[in-house]
Amino acid sequence: MQTVITKNFDYGEKEINYLKSVDTVLGTAMTQLGKVEREIIPDLFAALVHAIVGQLISAKAVQSIWARMQENVGAMNSENIAAQSVEAIQSCGITMKKAACILNVALTIEQGLLDLQELYELSDTQVIQKLSSLHGIGPWTAEMMLINSMERPDVVSWGDIAIRRGMMKLYNLDTLTREQFEEYRRAYSPYGSVASIYLWSISFR
């Protein structure tokens, strides 16, 4: 039973036309692909759990684990998750380290030590800093939250292997340096998140 509500990342002609105008190579790929939909999870806690599950595993694996978690554990809210044992969370097919991280986040929220709603008042950099202060969460997980839950418009994650692979395929590169990545990221701004959505799509083609 899927309990978590999803929607598509909200973007349109404005972002598409801007990216096509600043990067003709990306623009050509965007025309070929048409509008790419990116399913996101508006609920911050559920999205954070989803991002933790997704650390260093394939999108396909995430899908089956996520479905199993909703089936076995139930509601993806901090109150319900905080009441689970680490073993119950881990038995859905994730590592003990990830299970402990998810439980820790839920307990931190339930103890009143973290208010995810406050993230909406922070800049992207501050959100990354705040979430990265939690055990088991790094910049990539925070960046996935920024795109896949908060719909922040300008996020391109260096830590995301698929995004880097998408760039390499798009621009026909054998390697990608951090400097090259930053150059592209700056060119996409202020609509980096939409560029990321296309780079993911290119990566998996």
Quick one: average pLDDT of 102-127?
A: 97
Checking if the pLDDT of 151 tops 60, the result is: yes
Q: Is 2's pLDDT higher than 70?
A: no
Beta carbons within 8 Å of 205's beta carbon, 6+ residues apart = 169
pLDDT higher than 90, residue 85:
yes
pLDDT digits (tens, 9 = 90+) for 54-83: 999 988 999 999 999 999 999 999 999 999
Q: What percent of the chain has pLDDT over 90?
A: 96
Average pLDDT over residues 126-133: 96
How much is the pLDDT for 59? Answer: 87
User: What is the per-residue pLDDT across 41-60, written as a single tens digit (0 to 9) for each?
Assistant: 999 999 999 999 999 998 89
pLDDT value at position 39?
96
- Give the model's pLDDT for residue 1: 56
Domains contained in the chain, CATH given: 11-38+154-204 (1.10.1670.40), 43-148 (1.10.340.30)
Mean pLDDT of the chain: 96
Segment 171-180, tens digit of pLDDT: 999 999 999 9
